[in-house]
Amino acid sequence: MKNNAVERDSHGTENRRGPVGSRRNFVRASAVAAFSSALGLDIPFGRFLPQGMTPVALAQQLPSEADLLNGKKGLRVLNDRPVNAETPATLLDGEITPISRHFVRNNGILPERALGMNLDGWKLEIDGEVGQSLSLSMETLRNEFEVIERAYVIECGGNGRAGFHPPASGNQWTLGAVGCSLYRGVRLRDVLERARLKPDAVYIGYYGEDIHLSRDPDKVVISRGFPIGKAMDEHTMLAWEMNGEVLPALHGFPLRLICPGWPGSASGKWLTRITVRDRVHDGPKMTGYSYRVPKYPVAPGTEVPEEDMQIIEEMPVKSMITFPASGMEIRVDDVLPVRGNAWSGMGNVSAVDLSIDFGQTWKRAEVADPRNMYAWQRWKTHLKFPSPGYFEVWARATDHTGAMQPMVVPGWNPRGYLNNAMHRIAVKVS
């Protein structure tokens, strides 16, 4: 007797698609046919090729993740499996971050589609609490929705983790898990409106094609999401271009979410599916301690119960000195130009102040307007030092809500998120 009632995927959603296993066999047969076509040869034992595995003759033709990372200039690699690399502050000295200098934060292995930059057969599925499920090609997205272009900051929730004591687990980012690039695509709102959200829609969850480190094709690497209110915000988008180029493999080819102002983990890459939920999404890295902080202040090193953790939403106000580099040596009669970037998940930054006397007095910098909301803002000023000696330049940003950067690392949390302590650089005056 065939079991053909309901098939459930890895996150519990029902797939009513006929006998269990029939869809999997169809997918495998389709993949083998595609491989055969690419090789120009029949694959006699193709039915035995493990799901998720590519014939070695084709795999050898694809660039590796290491090859792709070689296109990044001056980044510091924190991890190569998965690939994670950050950018020194001085390389972020501009309004728009070049692709070659944009940080990389991955949770799994790049999908072969991205490595081969191959759109064949790709669709974006929209399902769940909607009146009409959608299956959208790239052509449909480009031609049937209004196309927009925006500059947005993407920052890893763990940027600054290396500053926490006692140390928090995870990649030890210093300052450079952030970038502000130009993205082109469509509003997520417009796509969801076509799908007709049901009244009980409260959250979305995304799924991508990245591969689990175990290479188990049934394991989802990461599936996060955000409330419907954020999904329907005019700034939340589906992007297929970055800085005027096709979205690079490391940054989510062929399509990624951009959820500006929230931690980078909300901006899912290599998208294939967005599901609308009637509850808070509970995909991998959405529960437990992942991208969550305590609901109340805790002492460093405290073990916090899971039920006392809350999901990170808006990222805190922050600034960075991009010129000069720390350790600069100047003469006492020199005037030192200083500049950098400031941003906030709450919106615009209203002020940036600098101090050379360890916070006793402050000088207001000139702050430019953002290119658009959620883009970072360039700031600049000139500093004169009163005597020879060792000085530190501290930068402090304040956003339009009045929130201000703290001098020291803010509230400790088990995973080392949301460190927005002031950036400091050393200056030696002779």
Please write the tens of the pLDDT for every residue from 242-260: 999 999 999 999 999 999 9
Tokens of 362: 């402050």
Range of the domain at 372: 318-429
**Length of the chain (residues):** 430
Question: Are 241 and 96 in the same domain?
Answer: yes
DSSP codes, 284-341: TTSSTTTTEEESS---TT----GGGEEE--SPPPEEEEEES-TTEEE-TTPEEEEEEE
Q: Which residues have a Cβ under 8 Å from the Cβ of 46 and sit 6 or more positions away? A: 32, 35, 36
pLDDT of residue 153: 98
Q: State which of 311, 334, 350 marks the end of a domain.
A: 311
Question: How far apart (Å, rounded) are the C-alpha atoms in residues 5 and 246?
Answer: 41
Quote the distance between the C-alpha of residue 341 and its chain's center: 18
For 108-143, write each residue's pLDDT tens digit. Answer: 999 999 999 999 999 999 999 999 999 999 999 999
Domain for residue 226, yes or no? yes
Q: Are residues 135 and 241 in the same domain?
A: yes
Residue-wise over 25-37: b if at least 16 C-beta within 10 A, else e? eeebeebbeebee
Is 2 contained in some domain? no
On whether residue 16 sits in a domain, the answer given is: yes
364 and 258 within one domain: no
CA 20 – CA 4 distance, rounded (Å): 6
pTM metric for this prediction: 0.85
Cα(80)–Cα(106) distance, integer angstroms: 10
Three-state DSSP state, 39:
helix
d(CA 241, CA 235): 16
* CATH number reported for the structural domain that contains residue 257 in this entry: 3.90.420.10
- Is residue 253 in a domain? yes
Residues facing 276 on adjacent strands: 128, 204
Q: Where are the alpha helices (DSSP H) in 145-226?
A: 188-195
pLDDT digits (tens, 9 = 90+) for 4-33: 444 444 444 444 444 445 555 655 676 677
